[in-house]
Amino acid sequence: MTTAAVPVRTSCRYRRAGDYLSAAMIHLRDNTLLTEPLRPEHVKPRPLGHWGTCPGLNLVYNGLNTLIRLTGQRTLLVTGPGHGAPAIHANLWLEGTHAEYDPALSRDGKGLAELVRRFSWPGGFPSHLSPGVPGVIHEGGELGYALATAFGAVLDDPGLLVACVVGDGEAETGPTAASWHSPRFTGPHDGAVLPILHLNGYKISSPTIFASMSDEELEHYFRGCGWSPRFADIRRSPDPDTLFGQALAAAHRDLGADRPPMLILRSDKGEGAPVRDTGGRPLAGTFRAHQVPLKHVTDDAGELALLEDWLRSYHPEELFAGDGSPAPDLLDVPPEGDLRLGKVPQANGGRLRTALPLPRLDAHTVRVETPGTVDASATEAVGGWLADLVRATEERRDFRIVCPDELESNKLGAVLDATPRAFSGDVPGYAEHLGSGGRVMEVLSEHLCQGWLQGYLLTGRHGLFPCYEAFVSIVDGMVNQYAKFLKMARETPWRAPVASLNYLLTSDGWEQEHNGYSHQGPGFINTMLTKRSTVARVYLPPDANTALETIRRCLDSTDLINVVVTGKQPAPQWLGPAEAAAHCRAGAGIWDWAGTAGDEDPDVVLACAGTTPTLETVAAAWLIRRTLPEVRVRVVNVVDLLTLCPPERHPHGMTGDAFHRLFPRDVPVVFGFHGYPSAVHEVLHGREHADRFHVHGYLEEGTTTTPFDLLASNRMTRHDLAADALTRSSLGDRAEDVAQELLRERDELLALSYRDGRDPEAITGWRWTP
């Protein structure tokens, strides 16, 4: 549904109201419509915010309002300069969206005063965008991710336009540089992204690279990236709204072109602010307008006068009625209902989400009659099941896999039998499994994968991010920001739950093939342990059946960040499907078949988490049974790492009684762990006698070598685990002698690896036997 165009004069007045409200939010706490002379007590004691980008954001918001009213185009706004939040708040108040979510922000004098006071105020809105702000799926606090998020939002939503404002400071980041290539991964099922590169000249204290480039240089750069740039330079325009509106309308008409349009908006930094401060230094149009141009208003009468002159230059008495409500003509500017930028349904994507039709696992589980007697690849099993899921969602198209060119390397290639890799660019040579409608997105940029998936999830869909474990840490900063977003979204009553962000980490450091020290890095687990317990989950399934069950459960969850770490190489399988399901429900359990304690309390517990540590731990228990059978050993496997936490620290934490059933009081525990030992010590903090846990894990020792040599370098071989367990048992000298013999055996086997260039059959051919 379209409506008549709003008169240019009204549109200009609307933008002026937005600028006034933005400046007032940064500076004022009272006298919000300047009905009396401005005094120091009317000003916030700590003015916070970023004025520099606000005039440009108000111009863009105003232009989009006009476009939507004329075309009925369903539009989502992604704001890279998230610190320009005052502009977004101003428009949300003017269009009435704020009042719908919070009646205290009503479109009258009382609501206006509350809006202005609440910005950057304790208990109010933060200085940047956040999940508590309607219309927001991207905060823009950490720069670089707006454009990738925008592209994720349009995937599988052909009727959606995402207008994405990219600040010229943000444009200098690596993730943004990669994001300009995203159109090569979209296809006929997807909507359109319209980037608006806002060049206002400066970042915090320096000129920006892109603003210093000529129009010709910018034209060549972006055409080389596949775009058709249009320029809107409003710096000396007598009618900036019309100039920008014409460029916006032309770009909208070209959305279906082979070379997609983008806008390059040039404006002055912080336009409208005082030209100079009381010391004569330039403000408007310089980096000094980036944040708060006038910082000493409360104790400098000259600055207070400058602020009052600045605010009165917008003539608020012409824009707001006597009761503080917007002038009647301003109410005609925004579109109506769900076409408002603050109300577009995709901005609260949890309301659009429907549960995935998760296939049964049966066709992909591994039959295990005796533990350890059959080998299988966990990720191959998962890949077959994911292929079924892709087929089950073919019509609804709400599930995607993003991966940094590692799908087949991680043995998930079965998915490519169900859908090709998304790619719409020209292919210079031979390629396989490519198609413009594909739902696997492979690109050698973890940042792009993360951004795409965040945008996809936050607009109501589902996805999976497989990655080499060592390189997922490239997105540490992004996942930090996303975890904060989820935390705040959970605390926002009107936000509906979204599908969880699921990582499948494989090609881990213990699985040596072609790679060495650079590919060994299990630290993403530690990163997740710093996140709120309401958000973070870490799983280490030890075999194919537990991996299948874990991935199924993760894809059925909401509002979480799930990290699943498992192996891709064929390895011994320990649990049948029913046992695996029960084990995953419990999170940790005793493997009676692997130990020797029976119903008695053990002399020592051998615990494990992770594919390789589980194999070495089961083998360590086998070694103890072979060399010193009188030692009572219990084997405990942990699939959900956070079950080790006390329940008051994490919702998955076991009760004290359950914990002591696995790990009896005063019994030493030797723990073979997939990652850094510090992670286990961290989750155990608060448990009774946690110092009895002795963790073996990755010690930052490695190179390109054999698996057994790598294990030995990090004191994680079966011999190391068994020797440590015997030494810590209460059997005295006899146990110590056997421990030393096991370590000598380790060294003899290691010598064979060095001599032959491969691990001996005693290691590679070992099988667990009762």
Neighbours of 768 (CB within 10 A): 17
Let me know whether 334 and 412 are in one domain: no
**What is the band of 513 on the pLDDT scale with cuts at 50, 70, 90?**
low
Question: Tens digits of per-residue pLDDT, 437-474?
Answer: 999 999 999 999 999 999 999 999 999 999 999 999 99
- Say if residue 615 is in the same domain as residue 555: no
If asked whether residues 642 and 497 sit together in one domain, one would say: no
Predicted local confidence at residue 2, as pLDDT: 64
Kindly state whether residues 77 and 217 are assigned to the same domain: yes
Domains of the chain: total = 3
Q: Is the model's pLDDT at 1 over the cut of 60?
A: no
- 358 in a structural domain: no
Residues 320 and 374 in one domain: no
Q: Label each residue of 356-402 as H, E or C.
A: CCCCCCHHHCCCCCCCCCCEECHHHHHHHHHHHHHHHCCCCCCEEEE
pLDDT value at 511 more than 90: no
Cα–Cα distance for residue pair 497/21, rounded to 1 Å: 32
pLDDT of residue 644: 98
Over 60: is that where the pLDDT of 751 sits? yes
The verdict on 402 and 533 lying in the same domain is yes
Asked whether residue 583 is assigned to any structural domain, the reply reads no
**732 and 634 in a common domain:** yes
**Domain boundary residue, one of 283, 314, 345:** 345
Interatomic CA distance for residues 411 and 544, integer angstroms: 12
Same domain, 300 and 182: yes
Structure tokens at 521: 């890095």
- How many distinct helices (H) and strands (E) make up the chain? 24, 20
Please give the mean pLDDT across all residues of the chain: 95
521 and 469 Cβ atoms separated by less than 8 Å: yes
Rounded Cα gap, residues 458 and 570, in angstroms: 36
| Residue 248 and residue 173 share a domain | yes
Q: Would you give the distance in Å from CA 754 to the centre of its chain?
A: 43
| pLDDT bracket for residue 142 (50, 70, 90) | confident
Q: What is the CATH number of the domain that holds 221?
A: 3.40.50.970
Last residue in a domain, options 515, 540, 571: 571
pLDDT (tens digit per residue) in 630-687: 999 999 999 999 999 999 999 999 999 999 999 999 999 999 999 999 999 999 999 9
3-state helix, strand, coil in the chain (%, to 5): 45, 15, 40
**Looking at the domain assignment, is residue 3 inside a domain?**
no
Query: Angle of helix 8-27 relative to helix 301-312, nearest 10 degrees?
Result: 160
Cα distance between residue 623 and residue 629, in whole Å: 9
Close Cβ partners of 36 (under 8 Å, ≥ 6 residues apart): none
Model pLDDT for residues 325-365, shown as the tens digit of each residue: 999 999 999 999 999 999 999 999 999 999 999 999 999 99
> CA 299, CA 41: separation in Å to the nearest integer?
11
The backbone torsions φ and ψ at residue 359, rounded to the nearest 5 degrees and listed phi first, read -65, 160
Residue 174 has pLDDT above 80, yes or no: yes
Whether residues 220 and 249 share a domain: the answer is: yes
* CA–CA dist 153, 460 (Å, integer): 9
Predicted confidence (pLDDT) at residue 512 exceeds the cutoff of 80: no
Task: Report yes or no on 354 lying in a domain.
Answer: no
Answer for the pair 402, 463: CB distance below 8 angstroms, yes or no: yes
Residue 86 lies in a domain: yes
The domain that holds 718 is classified in CATH as 3.40.50.920
Give the tens place of pLDDT for each residue, 692-741.
999 999 999 888 888 999 999 999 999 999 999 999 988 888 899 999 99
429: in domain = yes
The β-bridge partners of 282 are 276
Q: What is the DSSP letter of 28?
A: B
**Is 306 found in the same domain as 182?**
yes
Predicted confidence (pLDDT) per residue in 377-419, tens digit: 999 999 999 999 999 999 999 999 999 988 999 999 999 999 9
Distance separating alpha carbons of residues 636 and 3, to the nearest angstrom? 67
Domain-embedded: residue 469:
yes
For a pLDDT cut of 90, what percent of the chain falls above it?
88
Residue 614 within a domain: yes
Task: Point out the domain boundary residue: 543, 571, 599.
Answer: 571
Distance CA 163, CA 71 (A): 15
* Pairing mode of beta strands 693-696, 633-638: unpaired
499 closest CA partner among 534, 538, 464, 448: 464
- CB-CB neighbours of 591 under 10 Å: 22
End-to-end CA distance of the chain: 73
Which domain covers residue 736, as residue numbers? 588-764
| Residue 508 sits in the same domain as residue 477 | yes
- Report how far residue 609's alpha carbon sits from residue 540's, in angstroms, rounded to the nearest whole number: 6
How far apart are the C-alpha atoms of 76 and 190, rounded to whole Å? 14
pTM, to two decimals: 0.96
Among 478, 473, 422, 488, which Cα is nearest to 450's?
478
